[in-house]
Structure 1
């Protein structure tokens, strides 16, 4: 039998390795930015074109590399941080100049220019598909600039699996935020298609959070600070009043590396137990410092999952630290039966000094005088006796007319008790309602074969969903102008997402006058919603986009219609009049698909007479 096992060429092996390291443009951004941080850069610039499909460029002012190091960095298993296997369990860095670069160079056009501080000239290397096309000496500033162009150009199947530009940009922004939040001592800039999205100067953790998520975030943060032998915890948690439906503002950092941990997330939720409404999630930005030897960061290719030596103790410490912070800053309710709240000094009077009251007495005051003047030096007040002539005249002659005249009660006409008409006309049997509302949740209606039970929330979602789809497709949304523009604050990433679906929102009736930085200004809204619903609709829309991540244009329109319908539909617990009930039933069965809600759950069920009769057997 002939030998069938053979060694793969390096460029093929690199392409296979790239499948683990590079899943999408955001993966390249993460690797290149972490390399810049390991190079001791104080300024990192990220330049993106077409959501990273055309260009991903990271420019840093770090230590740079020599000519030999620049060439070796693109070789497989090349690293500057590991000398032996034991070093894997005591890493204090992000990644390595090598390994990731070899994988990236196998599936893209890469151009790197680097110069160390002790050299006068820089080295420029151009690589296409693991093949070095050129290496030359050029003039460049200190640091490293790596440009990755035409990602997955030689693997069309992988390129076809990429999502829309809006979705890929969202993933890139997420990676940028994670790296920027972990390193407030480094300045970061991000540009997309020539527009600046982020400009983050050197700051502290709180200022960096506010710089990314907007100035309104500052009032939401509660500091957390706890130091033990096992772990040191610093950072912030969000106040319960500002909890969101999405998990977009939940960040764990272990030794300045972003991680995902459902176990630690459960500890945070446990600390907020009893403080949050249903289906909302707390915000947190927590930084954990542990001994590198007590964790294993190599259990996941992207190093976003970490294994701890003592997870149970870490869980208890984290939960207690968050609970302590919520109680210390009077966020969590505290019961103190010995304290009399009525004796508390209001905050506005804590710094004020007590003043003696001044009392002035007018010794000449006479309440029985016709006209009395108070102290003329202060202010003139006139007191007059009440004029009783007007009401006394009402009784003049009454006594003389009534005295001595007998009253014949038979001549007194009393109002008849007989009802000549009804305020509400009595309905005939044919006019009576055919629907009945049960527990302010279901509509019960009779049909020939039995009974129909409709979920009012799901039914209204279906009606609104089909109307919105028609408006977006035909661009026939009717708008109502607002008297005053409505200004809403979002994070920069959310504003970028709203801008990407702006056209579809305008087709439903929204009118945007400004969309800059972290502010969105709205001057018109759809006619069937109120101004107070706008924030809820957009928050729900952002949450749905983050969770479902649509790619095609049709998917965006469909998701938007579902999201707006979910936000504005009649809620469970809302009482409906008979007219509203019948109108909803008629609108539901006028839909193209009345049986299902937009999320494919049943909108109604039927119970036949046979089923009812079997219940009584």
Structure 2
């Protein structure tokens, strides 16, 4: 017999509703910080312990909550932001539903202390997993402090499936990056496990905030401001030279609200296409002012997703604004022009495929061993030409060396092939990149790096493994660390150890355009023969064979 239909209890209903709004520690911080911003705060301090699972506090110097209304504020659908249904369609505040405090209250132990500026005393109220505990008068500075403890301890199923402390910290830092770039007039401070990790001045300088987050100085950015009758866009863009391998540094807000909208991001990327390489993404932080009546923020429980009326007009405005500023400040990337007299080949694979039918050119397959090769010479300081028993072999010197180094770094079995490059330098990569490196510090140690987190939040590098045989110049450690951090941020199947090894191998490998002596070339070929596969770590072929049978046929023999 099927179960009978019955109305859920108030407690279960509250937990279900809370689960839609509060998914993880960063959801708590987002809701509380947005309330602080709506209260006209100019200083907001966030503190967490154990990734926010054990403890979260958000303190501000805003307007405070009236003593008579503070208990009501923790009830569901109690809000000061809207009064009638028309207000829902012209939301001007970050919060408006009256769900956040109630949701947080349902899944944690909460304590709130608040004082209005014109009041002598503060009010303190306490709850434990939705149950009212105490209401009392206390002394405190004006503003509001909210303390959240033991998040999701009454929901073991939710708690079980949350990410690690490191992952939650990273998400919290990401949110602080976004909100501080959007509200430059507010000083934000983040304290993690008793140590300050992040602070902005609140002096309206988006450049200084960008420098704090990404460690890029003023000349790395382009200021953007455009407006028309309906829209206004304001912010900064990175110079196309300062681009990365993922979209994590692209921040867009609508009327001060950080949003996720794939159409907007796609439009921004299209604006940059003439200036950057494929699969590279800029740093960008822009706020777009649009009439409140043409944007719907009541789409998603966490208010990240928004919908627009006349979206095409908005996207056209964004594309035109960014394209205009880039065209005025940056020369487009040069692209080879094909002529009638000759074809300019983009890479050597194009050349081989154009001149030979399929089957005549062969990239060596997985686990296929190289035969004994006789060194012939070097072409364009890019390819090593060799004679084999069944054809001519072309070796991409960079790809081959990259494969050799990757396997050596991974296995650490050939220590004599490396020297330790002594650095003894401090590096500040910006908050996001610093933390991504620090999260994986043990993997660096396993690979032979002498690297540690600095008490000030940056990175100290003393020594790194270094391949000296081919006279490579790999002293730009800042660039190397930034690339590793960017790679670690991407969702991919490689382990952190493999990601670090790939980047270090690429950074150390002999470059295209670098002349090799005959002995250096022979040494590289011998080392390549001992690798597991003749590909570089990214899957590109390191060796291509042109069969003698094909050559005989082409020459009519």
TM-score with structure 2 setting the length: 0.78
Query: CA shift at 1:520, angstroms?
Result: 4.4
1:478 and 1:508 in contact (8 A); partners too: no
Q: Find the partner of 2:500 among 560, 563, 569.
A: 560
C-alpha distance in structure 1 between counterparts of 2:550 and 2:156, whole Å: 57
Query: CA shift at 1:251, angstroms?
Result: 1.5
Name 1:84's counterpart in structure 2.
84
Gaps of 5+ in 1: 335-429
C-alpha change, 1:267 and 1:2, in structure 2 (3 Å) is: closer
Counterpart secondary structure, 1:190: strand
C-alpha distance in structure 1 between counterparts of 2:188 and 2:133, whole Å: 31
Alignment pair present for 1:300 and 2:240: no
Q: Find the partner of 1:536 among 479, 488, 499.
A: 479
> Where in structure 2 are the equivalents of 1:133-152 lying within 5 Å?
133-152=133-152
1:115 and 1:141 in contact (8 A); partners too: yes
Name 2:194's counterpart in structure 1.
194
2:393 and 2:545 in contact (8 A); partners too: yes
Name 2:422's counterpart in structure 1.
481
Name 1:171's counterpart in structure 2.
171
1:39 and 1:62 in contact (8 A); partners too: yes
2:42 and 2:185 in contact (8 A); partners too: yes
C-alpha distance in structure 2 between counterparts of 1:527 and 1:598, whole Å: 18
Query: CA shift at 1:175, angstroms?
Result: 0.6
Counterpart secondary structure, 1:73: helix
Name 2:444's counterpart in structure 1.
505
Alignment pair present for 1:43 and 2:47: no
C-alpha change, 1:443 and 1:134, in structure 2 (3 Å) is: farther
Name 2:347's counterpart in structure 1.
none
Query: CA shift at 1:521, angstroms?
Result: 5.1
Counterpart secondary structure, 1:260: coil
C-alpha distance in structure 2 between counterparts of 1:105 and 1:507, whole Å: 43
Counterpart secondary structure, 1:80: coil
Query: CA shift at 1:272, angstroms?
Result: 2.9
Query: CA shift at 1:516, angstroms?
Result: 6.1
1:29 and 1:176 in contact (8 A); partners too: no
Name 2:222's counterpart in structure 1.
222
Instruction: Tell me the matched-pair count.
Output: 511
Name 1:17's counterpart in structure 2.
17
Query: CA shift at 1:269, angstroms?
Result: 3.0
C-alpha distance in structure 2 between counterparts of 1:567 and 1:478, whole Å: 15
Query: CA shift at 1:605, angstroms?
Result: 9.5
C-alpha distance in structure 1 between counterparts of 2:293 and 2:45, whole Å: 32
1:60 and 1:145 in contact (8 A); partners too: yes
1:113 and 1:124 in contact (8 A); partners too: yes
Counterpart secondary structure, 1:79: coil
Gaps of 5+ in 2: 334-370
Q: In the TM superposition, what whole-angstrom CA distance separates every residue of 1:205-253 from its partner, at most 9, and x where no partner exists?
A: 4355345336643122222221211101112222223233343332211
> Where in structure 2 are the equivalents of 1:235-254 lying within 5 Å?
235-254=235-254
Q: CA RMSD in A?
A: 4.0
Counterpart secondary structure, 1:548: coil
> Where in structure 2 are the equivalents of 1:188-587 lying within 5 Å?
188-210=188-210, 212-213=212-213, 216-328=216-328, 330-332=329-331, 433=374, 460-471=401-412, 479-482=420-423, 485-486=424-425, 488-512=427-451, 515=454, 520=459, 522-528=461-467, 530-548=473-491, 555-569=495-509, 587=527
1:271 and 1:322 in contact (8 A); partners too: yes
C-alpha distance in structure 1 between counterparts of 2:400 and 2:372, whole Å: 24
1:471 and 1:477 in contact (8 A); partners too: no
2:450 and 2:464 in contact (8 A); partners too: yes
TM-score with structure 1 setting the length: 0.71
> Where in structure 2 are the equivalents of 1:55-70 lying within 5 Å?
55-70=55-70
Counterpart secondary structure, 2:222: strand
Report which stretch shifted further, 4-13 or 25-34. 4-13
C-alpha distance in structure 2 between counterparts of 1:317 and 1:486, whole Å: 45
Q: In the TM superposition, what whole-angstrom CA distance separates every residue of 1:522-561 from its partner, at most 9, and x where no partner exists?
A: 44332227443523321221111211389xxx94334333
C-alpha change, 1:460 and 1:432, in structure 2 (3 Å) is: closer
C-alpha change, 1:333 and 1:565, in structure 2 (3 Å) is: closer
Taking CA–CA contacts closer than 8 Å with sequence separation of 6 or more, which of the two structures ends up with the larger relative contact order? 2
Q: In the TM superposition, what whole-angstrom CA distance separates every residue of 1:388-419 from its partner, at most 9, and x where no partner exists?
A: xxxxxxxxxxxxxxxxxxxxxxxxxxxxxxxx
